[in-house]
Amino acid sequence: MKLGIVGLPNVGKSTLFNAITQAGAESANYPFCTIEPNVGVVAVPDERLNVLKELNNAKKIVPTAIEFCDIAGLVRGASKGEGLGNKFLSHIREVDAIVHVVRCFEDSNVVHVDGSVDPIRDIDTINLELILSDIEILDRRIVKTTKALKSDKSLAGELEMLNAIAATLAESKSVRTMDFTEEEQEFVNSLNLLTSKPVIYAANVSEDDLADEGANNEYVARVREFAASENAEVVVVCAQIEAEISELESDEEKKEFLETLGLEQSGLDKLIQSSYSLLGLMSFLTAGEQEVRAWTIKVGTKAPQAAGKIHSDIERGFIRAEIVNYDDLVECGSVANAREKGLVRLEGKDYVMQNGDVVNFRFNV
């Protein structure tokens, strides 16, 4: 999964991104991730892995990972090619979800590109560039579909959808504000529009506003209101504090530091958690003697496709999945004990994976 960080200049993107790369997971474990200067890979925290490692006496833990991509340089006029605009827009096209950093902190030492702190104006500025880019794509598609309709009447519904989307964009609204049926959503996804991507607004607040999640920060309140209007999420972060947390070596130190700030979770962990729920993701687990590991899948994924996350050969040769629920496994103390109690199930190719499944795939090579 890949998240793109966007936002106006000077809102705290680099500070947050640097915290992410500092905290970064060891990239050797994630050969599938693109390692580029503007990409940071972070591990998804999962307490269950520590427990399974103990249980199995395993050598190591490999958490599942998320890629954060720093898409700096998005400025007013980007859709018209200003400031390398189009290049940045094409980067956004490749991500699964957008983290939109919004400045909600006052600091006279940090210049705002538009002269004052105003999160909704900032959001509108960025969103407008994305909307303009979508309008361009849609206009081309409408011309093409209108032509094709002459020989293929079945495209009438598609054209109607395209026009409805174009009308929304013309009102300067993002596509994600629209309601679609499942089938329509599939078509919309195929268009790969920028404003239909899920968004998390990261409200960057000062340290003082962190403990109460910006409850007394008027800017945060406005961001929340706006996000609600377009089915988006808000995560309150303080980029500077994230940078400090990422410099701490051990988990204990991090926990202590968070406690002194009155926090349970770092902003980064909150971002990861929100993106999981926003994108409908979950993790399943594998536990061997070499390693215990978490893998990301979409909720609703069936066993063979989940196996494919590990290796395409396992999906191709899938026979069945041997599954024990994490809680059952921990209670029994070992797979052997769980098997004796009849808690290890054999599931076939139609099995829908469940959160906390600890899996051993059987497959033909």
Residues binding ligand GDP (CB under 6 A): 7, 9-15, 72, 105, 107, 110, 204, 206, 238-240
For the bound state, the minimum distance from the C-beta of residue 222 to ligand GDP, rounded and expressed in Å, comes to 17
For the bound state, the minimum distance from the C-beta of residue 257 to ligand GDP, rounded and expressed in Å, comes to 16
For the bound state, the minimum distance from the C-beta of residue 105 to ligand GDP, rounded and expressed in Å, comes to 4
Which CB sits closer to ligand GDP, 210 or 227?
210
Angle, CA 348 vertex, CA 344 and CA 353 arms, to 5°: 70
Which CB sits closer to ligand GDP, 69 or 335?
69
12 is in an annotated binding site: yes
For the bound state, the minimum distance from the C-beta of residue 248 to ligand GDP, rounded and expressed in Å, comes to 17
Rounded to whole angstroms, the Cα distance separating 131 from 123 reads 12
Which CB sits closer to ligand GDP, 211 or 352?
211
Rounded to whole angstroms, the Cα distance separating 242 from 210 reads 11
15 is in an annotated binding site: yes
For the bound state, the minimum distance from the C-beta of residue 99 to ligand GDP, rounded and expressed in Å, comes to 12
205 is in an annotated binding site: no
10 is in an annotated binding site: yes
Angle, CA 340 vertex, CA 334 and CA 342 arms, to 5°: 105
Query: For residue 60, which amino acid is it?
Result: K
Which CB sits closer to ligand GDP, 64 or 246?
246
275 is in an annotated binding site: no
Rounded to whole angstroms, the Cα distance separating 267 from 248 reads 15
Place of tokens 């293929």: 152
Which CB sits closer to ligand GDP, 7 or 85?
7
Contact 299, 281 (CB under 8 A): yes
280 is in an annotated binding site: no
Supply the angle between the helices 119-149 and 218-229 in degrees, to the nearest 10. 10
Q: Which residues contact 137 (CB under 8 A, 6 or more apart)?
A: 191, 193
- Residues making up the annotated binding site for ATP are 10-15
